[in-house]
Structure 1
Amino acid sequence: MIKKNPDHLFNLQKKDDESIRDYIKRFKVERANIIGCDDRIASSTFKRGLPIECELYRELTLSPCQTLVELFATAERYSLWDDDWTAGKKATKQADQPVELASQRNDMIKDKDGGKCELQPQGGAPTTKSYTKFTILIQQILAQVKNMPWLKKPLPLKGNPAKKDTSRYCEFHEGHCHYTNDCFAWKKHLEELVENGYCTEFIARGAI
């Protein structure tokens, strides 16, 4: 196996179609091939390879990790959110497909000879739902609004409590299973609150 020098890490960039989890794996593989790679260089180049609009980039900027181990732990936590968001986006797209097909059928019109004209898109291509960007973590937002009367309580977590990972706690569900920042139910409810005019003070400028 060809060994590389630390400068090689400065060329690593997260690809547009690459998940955070895959970027972590690829970075670790490349770092393993570096001779005498300093942890500080690895930490700096890992963050440097992230897009500046990435939530993980913002977290590593606002709360810098002290060690490389802490950095990877934070990155792994955000990869869970990224996986959850990707799965939710895919499910939303699949759910929208029947509606889009019905709309396409309604858009088909007949020409003067009774034949069907070619379908023309209206209003541009369909868009997929994305989460609002906030100035603070969604866990911190929950801490500030958890006593508000308009906050809906989620359904109880399923599964055997004795078998749950007690190292992970969700403030929204008030139980062990996952981290608050990774809670899909809280993300979804927070989006609903924003649409109804709540929690708008936490929205990042230009994020709407």
Structure 2
Amino acid sequence: MDHRIEELARDQSRPTVRAFSSRTSFTDDVMGAPAPRGFKMPTIPQYDGTTDPVDHLETFRAMMLLHGASDGFLCWAFPITLTGAARDWYSRIKPSSVSNFEDFGDDLVRHFMSSRRLRKTTASLMALRQEDNEPLKVFVRRFNREALQVPNLDPSAAMSALLAGARSNDFRHSVARQNPHSLADLMAGAEEYIAVEETLATLDLTQRRTSEDKNLTKQRRDDKAPASRREKSPQRREENFTPLNTSRRHILAAISDEEFMRWPGRMISKGNRRDPSKYCRFHRDHRHDTDESWQLKKEIEQLIGRGYLKKYVRSDGRKPERREKSPQGHSPRRSQLPPTRNKSPLPSSS
């Protein structure tokens, strides 16, 4: 290509140039236009007629004007960028009919009008809508790409289209207050709002994760706590048990010799944390009263569910809760303890 340009750019005063001009599509004035000093043809993609001709013309013009090319030089250098169907079109142009590049380009655009891409308009922007699951940031960037393709876009029209398409009322109010004077101002204001929104969302997520981590840590700590300590957790106190017509210590005394009765193992809490004024006949140890034992409550509830102890179920919905206390500093008499049975102990949880 550079070799062909160099041949065309040789001394324009030679008679061979004028003799050749009568066999080309260009006028003598166009063919007499000199090439810029030290000109080297830039790399420009060739046009075959299948894409938008306006894009090719604008790319060619911008690259050539950057090198100081005249209008006439644009004309006789342009055919070098044509190939395929576009080259065939050029070969059919009448001799000496092209006198300026503007008309030359208009003829190309009219011939390949079907290859032009659809140009964006303000109406196409007004049809844009933020999808249900589309983040505001993604929608604004999609809107900006469309808006950049609208020639001579009025800022007020762009703002109206953006506000109509966005789903967030807070975003609409924020953009409307800024009164942007250009598309760049509009996009800058939108990006600023999005940045603040993302910062607040990050802070909220951080706080939520911190709260969840604290709850998880507490749950793990409670799971590792001794059984007698877990017994007092709010979750356990909130559970509803079947109403009984007598205290659990009386039920325990009545069923202590039954085969279905399962006895727990010894509590594992430290001795200095046990209340010597309280005694549990179910665990046979100090720390809480028999009626306060969470594990005894669960055991009786399970036995009721299995069909035992129905005679102890209260029908009026009231549930008596009476604490059993041993004398201060003294344990109940050993004769009051349930007999020791050769049964596998339950794991103690309280």
What band does the TM-score fall into relative to the shorter chain? 0.3 to 0.5
Q: Which has the larger radius of gyration?
A: 2
Q: TM-score, normalised by structure 2?
A: 0.27
